[in-house]
Amino acid sequence: MGSMKRILVIGAKGMLGRDLVETLRTSFPGDEITGWDVEEIDIQEERSTVTRIKNLEPGVIVNVAAYTDVDGCELNEKKAFAINAEGVKHVALGAVRCGAKVVTLSTDYIFDGKKGSPYVEEDPPNPLNVYGRSKWKGEQYVQELAKDPLIIRTQWLYGKHGKNFVASILRQAREKASLSVVNDQIGSPTYTVDLSHAIALLIERKARGIFHVANNDSCTWYHYARRILELSGIEGAKVVPVSSKELAYPAVRPAYSVLDTQKLKREAGLTLRPWTEALKDYLSSNPERA
């Protein structure tokens, strides 16, 4: 038996956080998994964040806490940076105080979407919106301050514990005869359960540096919406493809932000299943959300 590790998940009540805590408890049965959210630790506050982390003395900290409302961030830049950049910095400072390894989550929205082919870990970030800029700053803090950090960039998440695109499309399809969905942004819908397994594997392998993790294959939001309805057997609602300009959300999103996940395959031997497979699994195992 190896010595027991204490793994701290910050943001444990979020969509990814809930599945991640469950997966870590299964993947590391001999270890202590502690889940904290904003009631236990407000990462905006430097002193209390550092003290709480130091007192717990975790071996690994996985930070999945963030201000994830992309349009909200656009309208509240101060809050976006206070959580996604400074907050992440405070977590890194706490980790340094007790020698913990830091794992933090980042996003495809650090890229501008102009490359036209899948983004590799070394591609230069150029975020188009406040959310992306704040997450990119958080990455930089972690790289500067923590020892051998692991940064996991992912995208287009859905899971059973949060407001998400799948649930929202199913709800709208029940309420309306037609729904307008953006058809000029391409990415890879990613299931939080699959991502959680990848995070556990990367922790086990003691991976460091940047890794892109997403389900395989890509689509537009419009094709994604159609597939959701198809797989759920909903026929009445019409899905209308529209441009981002027509919907005019406050935050600009990258047109093409598919993440290249070859590094994950090369270094950890893992490829996540195609997004359509994961989606089928989600829909059949969460009938109450379908």
Among all residues, which ones are annotated catalytic? 131
Size of the site for ligand NAP (CB under 6 A): 27
Please, what is the minimum distance in Å from the beta carbon of residue 218 to ligand NAP? 14
Under a CB-based contact definition with an 8 Å cutoff, are residues 183 and 216 in contact? no
Residue ranges of E strands in 155-262:
157-158, 178-182, 186-187, 190-191, 209-212, 219-220, 238-242
Rounded to 5 degrees, φ, ψ at 277 are -65, -45
239: β partners: 179
- Residue numbers 126-145 binding ligand NAP by CB under 6 A: 135
Under a CB-based contact definition with an 8 Å cutoff, are residues 229 and 239 in contact? yes
Under a CB-based contact definition with an 8 Å cutoff, are residues 64 and 20 in contact? yes
Residue ranges of E strands in the chain:
6-10, 32-36, 60-63, 101-107, 150-154, 157-158, 178-182, 186-187, 190-191, 209-212, 219-220, 238-242
Considering only 41, 130, 167, 264, the residue that binds ligand NAP (CB under 6 A) is: 41
If the CB atoms of residues 43 and 237 are measured against ligand NAP, the closer one turns out to be: 43
If the CB atoms of residues 6 and 161 are measured against ligand NAP, the closer one turns out to be: 161
Count of beta carbons in the 10 Å neighbourhood of residue 77? 13
Q: Is 42 in the site for ligand NAP (CB under 6 A)?
A: yes
Q: Is 65 in the site for ligand NAP (CB under 6 A)?
A: yes
Please, what is the minimum distance in Å from the beta carbon of residue 42 to ligand NAP? 5
Tell whether the torsion through CA atoms of 214, 220, 225 and 226 is positive or negative. negative
Please, what is the minimum distance in Å from the beta carbon of residue 236 to ligand NAP? 28
Which residues does 171 contact at the CB level (< 8 Å), separation at least 6?
Answer: none
- Residue numbers 67-126 binding ligand NAP by CB under 6 A: 67-68, 83, 87, 105, 107
- Residue numbers 11-40 binding ligand NAP by CB under 6 A: 11, 13-17, 37-38
Please, what is the minimum distance in Å from the beta carbon of residue 239 to ligand NAP? 20
Q: Is 254 in the site for ligand NAP (CB under 6 A)?
A: no
Considering only 22, 27, 34, 44, the residue that binds ligand NAP (CB under 6 A) is: 44
Please, what is the minimum distance in Å from the beta carbon of residue 257 to ligand NAP? 10
Rounded to 5 degrees, φ, ψ at 206 are 55, 40
If the CB atoms of residues 159 and 173 are measured against ligand NAP, the closer one turns out to be: 159
- Residues making contact with ligand NAP (CB under 6 A): 11, 13-17, 37-38, 41-44, 64-68, 83, 87, 105, 107, 135, 154-157, 162
